[in-house]
Amino acid sequence: MRSTSEAVDKRLDKLLKTPKGAESQLFEAMRYSLFAGGKRLRPFLVVASADLFEVDKSRAINVAVAIECIHTYSLIHDDLPAMDNDDLRRGKPTAHKAFGEAAAILAGDGLQTLAFEILSSPDTHRDANVRCELIMELAQASGIHGMVGGQMIDLASEGEDLNIGEVTRLQQMKTGALIAFSAEAGAILSKASKQKRQLLHGYARDLGLAFQITDDLLDYEGSPEETGKATQKDAGRGKATFVSLMGLERARQQAEMLAKQAIEHLEDFGGKALLLRALARYVLERRK
């Protein structure tokens, strides 16, 4: 993960050199959020899945950078007063606290469009059909049927008594869809078979839910110093979570079961999937 993070940061730094014009604050806000010290889990998934198919590393890093741009834009917008109204992200003031709401909105907009600019470049893949598929899949994962739609459901559900199926659907859209795209990106880049993509999709589906349950556990049990953000927010806003519906112990057991299932989806890949198996275990053990 550290190696992937360094490669992604190097590519991002090259793409986002701050100009001297009036738009410099926009670039500064984008860089502030991108280089705030995130885990780069989604870029790591892209690179690890690409390694399964021996995809050129530079192409995989391009897709990894695109997904990190989308993820970071979503965090900037989620933190805004109109959304989750958070003051702290990754142990630092959120973008709208550091640069103002207008600059934060534009920074998110800039990162979103930059992601698709990267995917449309021939440097990402020589085959235009592959580039179009990457663009379409990321648009679906991040749009109204994925992350954005999930965020709307999340906002609308405050104070509502959601059941476990409804919470699962919400999180599969809001968080899981981008994780699924990241895990399948290597298969898209390599034009792998439908069966291989389905195995990676199954892995990502279970990994994403395990990730979200762990997030809910950290929100309930963790501290701001440990997680780098405010905790116990969901309970304060009356949001149904896996922990509120299942309890601590059952939620922990469910996350462990999902991580085990995720690993089972990788059986056909043999030793090549070592890093993806390790990631499923890491998701359970992380503290931020």
Tokens of 160: 């509502």
Q: How far is CA 143 from the centre of its chain?
A: 13
The 10s digit of each residue's pLDDT in 221-252 is: 865 665 555 556 666 667 889 998 999 999 99
Determine whether 8 is exposed, middle or buried from the number of CB atoms within 10 Å of its CB (0-12, 13-18, 19+).
Answer: buried
In this model, does residue 100 exceed pLDDT 70? Answer: yes
Distance CA 185, CA 133 (A): 10
Helices 57-78/24-34 angle, 10° precision = 100
Question: For position 91, what pLDDT does the model report?
Answer: 84
Q: Residue 92 pairs with which residues in a beta bridge?
A: 89
- pLDDT of 93 reads 94
- For 144-183, what is each residue's pLDDT tens digit? 999 999 999 999 988 888 999 999 999 999 999 999 999 9
Residue 222 pLDDT: 65
- pLDDT at residue 197 in the model: 95
Residues 82 and 38: their CA atoms lie apart, in Å, by 23
pLDDT tens by residue, 101-117: 999 999 999 999 999 99
Percent of the residues in the chain that have a pLDDT greater than 90, as a whole number = 84
pLDDT of residue 191: 97
What percentage of the chain has pLDDT greater than the value 70?
94
Name every residue whose Cβ is closer than 8 Å to that of residue 67 and which is 6 or more positions away in sequence.
42, 43, 46, 115, 138, 178, 181, 182, 185
Instruction: Give the pLDDT confidence score for residue 256 in this predicted structure.
Output: 96
Kindly state the DSSP code that residue 18 receives in the 8-state scheme: P
Cα dihedral value 59, 65, 71, 73, nearest 10: -130
pLDDT of 122 above 90: yes
Query: DSSP state, 272?
Result: G
Number of domains in the chain: 1
**pLDDT grade for 285, boundaries at 50, 70 and 90:** confident
88 DSSP β-pair partners? 93
For the ranges 57-61, 75-79, 216-220, which has the lowest average pLDDT? Answer: 216-220
CATH of the domain at 67: 1.10.600.10
Please tell me the predicted confidence (pLDDT) of residue 229: 54
pTM of the model: 0.92
String of DSSP letters for 190-243? TT--HHHHHHHHHHHHHHHHHHHHHHHHHHHH--HHHHSS--SHHHHTT---HH
Helices marked H in 56-193: 57-78, 95-99, 101-119, 128-142, 147-156, 164-171, 177-189
Average pLDDT of the chain, as a whole number: 93
Assigned token pair, 279 = 């990631």
Torsion-angle region of 160 (φ positive above 0: left; ψ -120 to 50: alpha; else: beta)? beta
Predicted pLDDT at 160: 85
Q: Can you tell me the distance from the alpha carbon of 115 to that of 17, in angstroms, rounded to the nearest whole number?
A: 16
What distance in Å separates the CA atoms of residue 150 and residue 167, rounded to the nearest whole number?
Answer: 10
**How confident is the model over 44-49, as a mean pLDDT?**
97
pLDDT in the model for residue 65: 98
Q: Of 201, 171, 217, whose CA–CA distance to 261 is shortest?
A: 201
Residue 118 to residue 73: CA distance in whole angstroms = 15
Give the residue numbers spanning the domain of 243: 2-285
Task: Give the pLDDT band of residue 21 (cuts 50, 70, 90).
Answer: very high
